[in-house]
Amino acid sequence: MSRFEAIRVHQGSTGRFARLESVTLDELTPGDVVVRVAYSSLNYKDALAVTGKGSITRGTPRTAGIDLSGVVESSADPAFRPGDRVLATGAGLGESLDGGLAERARLPASALVRLPDGLSLLEAMALGTAGFTAALALRRLLENHQTPEHGPVAVTGATGGVGGIALGLLKRAGFTTAAITGKPDSAAYLRELGADEVVPRASLATAGKPLETAVWGGAVDNLGGDTLAYLTRTVRPWGNIACIGLAQSPALNITVMPLILRGVSLLGIHSVAVPRAWRLALWEKLAGEWKPRELERLIVRAVIGLEQVPRACEELMAGEARGRYVVRIDETGGGA
């Protein structure tokens, strides 16, 4: 059986570590569809897995990578045929299933989405889990009656993958936006992405009364911790906060006052186990009317190879990156 390269997470005596190594399909978690991976991408979760700083994979050894795009090589499921172009984000990849940072993946058909018209294999990974999550957040905000009339929507972790794409999606949907960032020197970039206003994270009040002057119509939060607590105190009546991430902290020290005196809603966003109908509909949106403009120029920080992944993951963990890393594995997906 032929061997191929994969970034595998192992359990060592002092913790987890990842390395590029050669494996066979037999060593992967079971699945009906074999995909030649064209591209993967790096999300915060991948950085946690590859640096060993977070127990992302359920079980070891496991191929890291929560995202992939590529071409079907073989399928025992009638839903896919050899040559089909596909993508996968979340759905257990890089966690309970061997993931996308590899030349091949073997997955259940239920984890795969046919690449929608309007997206290239590279663009699908420029978006990846980050883009899908930002789209899910927008869907949840709209479903809970967020309107531009509420006022500006604050986006935290704005130079990151989810934050940057969320700025563009919100702007396109007619919202005024504010980028809250730890990198105020990136203001020009954030404005290009769709920010109407740039607010240094250091200027936010980190502790205060349960309610402060309400300035934000709503929010998309990637940080958790003090920043999310601040947002609960400053969102206007009936505004929504889409809770996505924990880059600052998983802790949340708030009171119920914003919820019961202002009708503010905290909307949970979970991009892994998403009902399939929502998943398909959101990818169609991302390939069509919600497709971010100039995706490659504005969102892609760099296209790197598998061997550059560990270093890029260190940068992500330090919060230093701007935009998204796409990982090029075999851009033709095996010549298709």
Ligand X SMILES: NC(=O)c1ccc[n+]([C@@H]2O[C@H](COP(=O)([O-])OP(=O)(O)OC[C@H]3O[C@@H](n4cnc5c(N)ncnc54)[C@H](OP(=O)(O)O)[C@@H]3O)[C@@H](O)[C@H]2O)c1
Query: Where along the sequence are the contacts to ligand X (CB under 6 A)?
Result: 43-45, 129-130, 133, 157-163, 181-183, 201, 222-223, 244-248, 269-271, 316, 319, 321
Q: Which helix (H) or strand (E) holds 13?
A: none
Minimum gap (Å) between residue 153 Cβ and ligand X: 15
* Residue whose CB is less far from ligand X, 202 or 260: 202
* Cβ-closest position to ligand X: 160
Joined together, the tokens standing for residue 206 give 């980190």
For the CB of residue 77, give the shortest distance to ligand X in the complex, in Å: 26
317 Rama sector, left if φ>0, alpha if ψ -120 to 50, beta otherwise: alpha
- Between 214 and 317, name the residue whose CB sits nearer to ligand X: 317
Closest CA to 263 of 218, 209, 204: 218
In the complex, least distance from residue 160 CB atom to ligand X, rounded to whole angstroms: 2
Query: Which is closer to ligand X, CB of 3 or CB of 311?
Result: 311
**Cβ atoms < 10 Å from Cβ of 37:** 31
Min dist. Cβ of residue 190 to ligand X (A): 8
**3-state DSSP assignment of residue 57:** coil
Give the 3-state secondary structure percentages of the chain, helix then strand then coil, rounded to 5. Answer: 35, 25, 40
- Would you call 220 helix, strand, or coil by DSSP? strand
Judged by CB, which is closer to ligand X: 161, or 239? 161
Q: Please identify, using beta-carbon distances, which residue of 115 and 180 lies nearer to ligand X.
A: 180
Q: What DSSP character marks residue 191? A: H
CB of 312 to ligand X, least distance (A): 10
The helix (H) or strand (E) run that includes residue 177 is strand 177-181
Residue 310 or 319 having the CB closest to ligand X = 319
Question: Which of 122, 87, 121, 83 lies closest to 107 in space, CA to CA?
Answer: 87
Whether the Cβ atoms of residue 178 and residue 198 lie closer than 8 Å to each other: yes
CB of 227 to ligand X, least distance (A): 7
Nearer to ligand X, 257 or 272 (CB): 272
CB of 94 to ligand X, least distance (A): 12
DSSP β-ladder status, 153-156 and 113-114: unpaired
